[in-house]
């Protein structure tokens, strides 16, 4: 019920005001105690029953929903035999478990990235100082072998910078077989690729050759460091080999100072040979392939191990290399120079693609080698 009223308002003198206002309000009647909905519901049920009886009994049983859909959609009926169970037919997946697994993977990746960033920061500040445990385990076991003939290091042909060796004149070098090497009086050193060794100069005791081997056994997650390094080494070998198979090398690229019949590409930062400032080597169509290899985590691990081993056995030269890299990075304000690896003091690298790599006699500066292959059916690395 809607009612309208016009109330009056008294003034201070007590007289009614001449102005008035209108407002609406509702009045809800009190419920009738004798009212009930039961008769109304009963009458409705009776009318429905009467309608069903008048329609007669049904002669067609209820059909599955799929039949109705097939009838309405002939295309679906023709392809009924090809229908595969949908994801809604199977039991619902455990969303909470899936989300937890995704979170675990994200946390693992974040932790891995954070750890890598920390190592890169430590490398820029301190290099790769060897741990006391590594020195105790590696250096004493690598008993130095004094070479039978002294080497005059100051007489070796080298550029004025001291970082690059000069090419020697004479007959063109060629690859030699093992028998030819032995016939020339060169002694073959058998090595398992694991136990470190050192060759020193008899005149002054300086280190000339080092075989760093592989990481020592340290139990961690059911795999030793050696086993992890071995697995990474194999994967890196396969990555380089497959990249060489997929690459197209010209005849000039297959014949070079390191050998014949295999591709070899240098990548990284170089200085000299014309330009007065450091520059990145260019490799044309091979650059995408080399970039993938440089981003390979297994190859990055090998490069970091090489650099750390260099510091373990040649700390003074390592410090010189590390200081030079820090100086170059500080002066490279525009970041135009791209380093191959975040944790390596070496500014350049060379990939020998094989499948058979036999180097010929050539000159280089101070460098490290990571090699893997087979000789007479025996693996070596």
pLDDT of 326-358, one tens digit each?
999 999 988 899 999 999 999 999 999 978 777
Residue 142 forms part of a structural domain: yes
Residue 43 lies in a domain: no
In a domain, 83, yes or no: no
* Long-range pairs for 21-29: beta carbons < 8 A, 24 or more residues apart: 26/1, 26/2, 27/1, 27/3, 28/1, 29/1
Q: Which residues are CB-contacts of 166 (< 8 A; sequence separation ≥ 6)?
A: 157, 158, 159, 363
Q: Which of 161-165, 172-176, 218-222, 290-294 has the lowest mean pLDDT?
A: 218-222
Six token digits for residue 166? 């000069």
Interatomic CA distance for residues 90 and 32, integer angstroms: 56
Q: Kindly give the interhelix angle for 225-246 and 297-313, rounded to the nearest 10 degrees.
A: 120
Tokens of 27: 């009045």
The answer as to whether 64 is a domain residue is no
Domain-embedded: residue 331:
yes
Q: What is the DSSP letter of 164?
A: S
Residue 111 domain-assigned (yes or no) = no
* Residue 19 lies inside a defined structural domain of this protein: no
Joined together, the tokens standing for residue 128 give 């790769």
Domain of 198 in residue numbering reads as: 136-380
Q: What are 107-158's pLDDT values in tens digits?
A: 878 887 888 888 888 888 778 888 887 777 767 665 788 888 898 888 888 7
Quick check: is 213 in a domain? yes
**pTM of the predicted model as reported, rounded to 2 decimal places:** 0.64
Q: What is the pLDDT of residue 374?
A: 46
356-377 exposure pattern, b = at least 16 Cβ within 10 A, e = fewer: ebebeeeeeeeebebebeeeee
List the structure tokens of 1.
């019920």
Distance, CA of 95 to chain centre: 28
Report the number of distinct structural domains present in the chain.
1
């Amino acid at each position: 019920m809607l009612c309208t009223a016009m109330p009056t308002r008294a003034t201070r003198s007590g007289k009614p005001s001449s102005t008035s206002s209108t407002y609406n309000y509702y009045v809800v009647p009190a419920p009738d105690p004798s009212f009930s909905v039961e008769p109304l519901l009963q009458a409705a049920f009776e009318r429905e029953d009467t309608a069903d009886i008048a329609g007669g009994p049904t002669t067609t049983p209820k059909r599955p929903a799929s039949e109705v859909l097939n009838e309405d959609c002939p295309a679906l009926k023709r392809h009924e035999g090809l229908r595969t169970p949908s994801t809604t037919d199977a039991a619902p997946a455990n969303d909470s478990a899936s989300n937890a697994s995704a979170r675990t993977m994200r946390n693992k990746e974040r932790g891995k990235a954070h750890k890598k960033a920390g190592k890169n920061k430590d490398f820029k500040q301190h290099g790769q100082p060897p741990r006391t445990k590594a020195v105790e385990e590696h250096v004493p076991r690598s008993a130095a072998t004094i070479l039978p003939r002294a080497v005059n290091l100051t007489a070796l042909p080298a550029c004025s910078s001291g970082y690059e060796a000069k090419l020697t004149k004479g007959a063109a070098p060629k690859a030699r077989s093992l028998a030819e090497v032995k016939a020339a009086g060169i002694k073959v050193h058998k090595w398992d690729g694991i136990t470190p060794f050192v060759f020193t100069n008899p005149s002054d005791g300086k280190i000339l050759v080092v075989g760093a081997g592989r990481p020592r056994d340290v139990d961690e997650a059911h795999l030793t460091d050696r086993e992890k390094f071995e697995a990474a080494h194999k994967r890196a070998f396969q990555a380089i080999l497959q990249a060489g198979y997929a690459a197209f090398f010209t005849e000039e690229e297959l014949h070079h100072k390191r050998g014949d019949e295999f591709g070899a590409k240098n990548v990284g930062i170089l200085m000299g040979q014309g330009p007065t400032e450091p520059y990145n080597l260019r490799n044309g169509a091979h650059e995408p392939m080399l970039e993938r290899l440089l981003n390979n985590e297994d190859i990055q691990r090998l490069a970091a191990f090489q650099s750390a081993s260099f510091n373990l056995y040649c700390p003074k030269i390592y410090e010189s290399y590390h200081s030079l890299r820090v100086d170059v990075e500080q002066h490279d304000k525009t970041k135009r120079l791209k380093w191959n690896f975040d944790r390596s003091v070496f500014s350049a690298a060379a990939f020998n693609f094989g499948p058979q790599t036999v180097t010929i006699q050539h000159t280089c500066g101070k460098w490290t080698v990571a090699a893997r292959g087979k000789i007479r059916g025996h693996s070596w690395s």
